[in-house]
Amino acid sequence: MSNLQRAIVPDRGAAKQEEAVIVKAVVRACEFWKLTNKESAELFDVPIATWNRMKAGDFRGKLDQDKRTRASLIVGIFKGLRLFFNGPLTYDWPKSANTGPVFSGKTPVATMIEGGIPAMLRVRRYVDGLRGGL
């Protein structure tokens, strides 16, 4: 196989390794935020049994574009909160009631679960805005 063919043909082993890292990052963020298994599964839009396998390191599925987008948003929100608060509020904020325009008195987690990816994007932009970004 030529170098060009290797560059074009995805390495399934590398993809599985990448997916394991993505799953681990999402699980860790949800643990730091003290989300229940139900909240975590709903936020990542997977059945609770799948979430439990992810937590146990036994996930054998493939992450589709929806899951990769959710993972990117969760990790981005987590990172943004760490940069902005750098303390206990980093981990408490997602489950704290919020009167900001995006939340209407709900918690960021409830907002994201109810609104899916569009709401997750709004929360990500909100967090980026807190720290002077977008």
pLDDT value, residue 15: 73
The DSSP annotation for 57-101 comes to: T---S---HHHHHHHHHHHHHHHHHHHHT-STHHHHGGGS---ST
pLDDT value, residue 75: 98
Cα 83 from Cα 71, distance rounded (Å):
18
pLDDT value, residue 14: 73
Report mean pLDDT in 10-residue bins for the chain, 134 residues.
57 78 97 98 97 94 96 97 90 96 96 98 95 68
Domain that residue 63 falls in: 3-130
Please count the structural domains in the chain. Answer: 1
**Contact 45/38 with Cβ under 8 angstroms?**
no
